[in-house]
Amino acid sequence: MDRILTYDSTLRDGEQCEGITLSLEDKLRIVERLDAFGIDFIEGGFPASNPKDIAFFQRVQAMPLRHARIAAFGSTCKKGVAAEEDQGLADLVASGAPVATIVGKTWDAQVTRALLTTLDENLRMIRDSVSFLKRQGLTVVFDAEHFFDGYKANPDYALSCVRAASEAGADSIDLCETNGGALPFEVGEIAAAVAAALPSQQLGIHCHNDSGCAVANTLAAVRAGVTQVQGTVNGFGERVGNTDLLTVIADLELKMGRVTVGSENLRELTSVSQFVAEACNVSVPAHHPYTGASAFAHKGGLHASAIARFPEAYEHTPPESVGNTQRMLVSELAGKASLVAKARGLGVDLSAHAEKVQAILDNIKEREAAGYSYETADGSLALLLKRHLGVYRPHFTLESFRVIVDDREDTGALAKDAMSEATIKIHVGGERFVATGEGAGPVGALDTALRMAIGAFYPQVADMELVDYKVRILDENVGTDAITRVVITTRDGRDSWGTVGVSENIIEASWNALVDSIEYGLMRIEEGCR
């Protein structure tokens, strides 16, 4: 079986998708998840473009990655500027990333009309940039921008661009179908021509999905000799998106006999898809290939009957091979095995409570229908399971809370620098406590007040840090009465966990997610999870 390298661009190209913004903690958690999944290269972004990316490259260096290598993204040196004097290239080196990915022009019209320079100068920029980065000891990926448009317009010049990168020492030359307008037969033919022209050069492929062909184009390029595939999780990206790297991985492993992450890691495909989607505060489309909730869903009647006897008739691959599950939409038993396995992973043994599994499953389904999502809220799910088993004992109980948002700036109708104050009344250890906390926002104020109230009894909360807070409106059509889902991520220096709260009141949803985060953290400590 031939090995195909995987290159993920979710943190850069994916974040260019309309409606997606990743926090620093989001990006680091995604890196951790993709590394565990077996992705070879993870592109972190532009190393000096903004404070978040600067902090990312600083923080990621301290992460104990087991497999993935981090790539910093930039471009060739500017026209008329020596590579040694180009600030962008210097930033790539200073980032500390072991891999530098630089984009360069390969379409003659783009060189003369966009860069406003000569074709020879562009070749110089490519050659000198790659050579400079190689001298710094970096692995260099050359992204040949608009390569397929360029090749169709002027094949000789397009080839001269990738040849310049190759001769300068580029470790991989990734052909970019930037406009997303090429069709599979075109991509296959052109990729084969490049492979013939550069027989010893590693080639990659980077496609966009504007014609709905990104995955097909990527597979066509692999058939033509490409050995590195670029894409994003779930196809997130600018305009209509990039190649869905997860779909490509599944197709290569299951359909084309190529090795990417391996069959064992492939079973995590669905959970990776859902994890990244939740981090991006979006949902995986139900009908998404391999990982969608409906990918292996079947309705009743003859179809359901046939599935029971001959699943291959309606399932092109076993759902468990990609970590998904077969769903019989008329069956009340669907999902039991998944719940038992999930609970086991959370340290809750349901095997001795078989009579309660269906009730728990029904409750989860009811709560999900009401807006809850447990894909990235393991903390809340674990607490829910323990409540059903009758073994949950709260560490504190709420009497009441009040939140005030105060803006004292004289700025006219617009608020500026508003502060929040939260007062909570809580019972803990048989005693009643009243505490008031302040914060820039209401959740921060509630968090501060809660820690003040219970800190004397549970000093371990000092090690717990709220690191991320997401709000999602679940039904935008009902305006201010819409249900709100809040997901909070907390960490304790060793691990992180998510919790969820749902309510028509955003403060109430936030409080419930916050309480779960503290309760789960204390439960982990008591059970020896740290």
Residue 520's domain comprises 397-526
Helix axes 214-223, 245-255, angle to 10 degrees: 40
Instruction: Give the pLDDT of residue 144.
Output: 97
347 within some domain: no
Q: Is the torsion defined by CA of 20, 506, 517, 322 positive or negative?
A: negative
Residue 35: give its domain's CATH number.
Answer: 3.20.20.70
423, 274: one domain:
no
332 within some domain: no
Higher pLDDT, 283 or 208: 208
Instruction: Give the pLDDT of residue 35.
Output: 97
Q: Which of 247, 279, 311 is the last residue of a domain?
A: 279
333 within some domain: no
Residue 438: give its domain's CATH number.
Answer: 3.30.160.270
Burial level of 66, CB count in 10 A (0-12/13-18/19+)? exposed
CA 341 to chain CA centroid, Å, is 23
pLDDT at 198 over 90: yes
128, 255: one domain:
yes
Residue-wise pLDDT for 216-237, tens only, equals 999 999 999 999 999 999 999 9
Assessment of whether the complete model's pTM goes beyond 0.95: no
Lowest mean pLDDT among 330-339, 391-400, 416-425: 330-339
Total domain count, the chain: 2
Mean pLDDT (the chain) is 89
For 300-340, the DSSP string reads STHHHHHHHH-GGGT-SS-GGGGT---EETT-TTTTHHHHH
What is the band of 376 on the pLDDT scale with cuts at 50, 70, 90?
confident
Instruction: Give the pLDDT of residue 307.
Output: 61
Q: Which residue carries 């914060």 as its tokens?
A: 439
Q: How far apart are CA 493 and CA 328, in angstroms?
A: 41
Instruction: Give the pLDDT of residue 354.
Output: 82
Q: Are 160 and 124 in contact (CB under 8 A)?
A: no
Provide, rounded to the nearest whole percent, the portion of the chain with pLDDT above 90.
65
284 within some domain: no
Instruction: Give the pLDDT of residue 40.
Output: 98
Instruction: Give the pLDDT of residue 38.
Output: 96
176 within some domain: yes
Residue-wise pLDDT for 300-344, tens only, equals 445 555 666 677 767 789 889 998 877 654 333 335 666 776 787
Higher pLDDT, 84 or 366: 84
Q: Which of 251, 279, 307 is the last residue of a domain?
A: 279
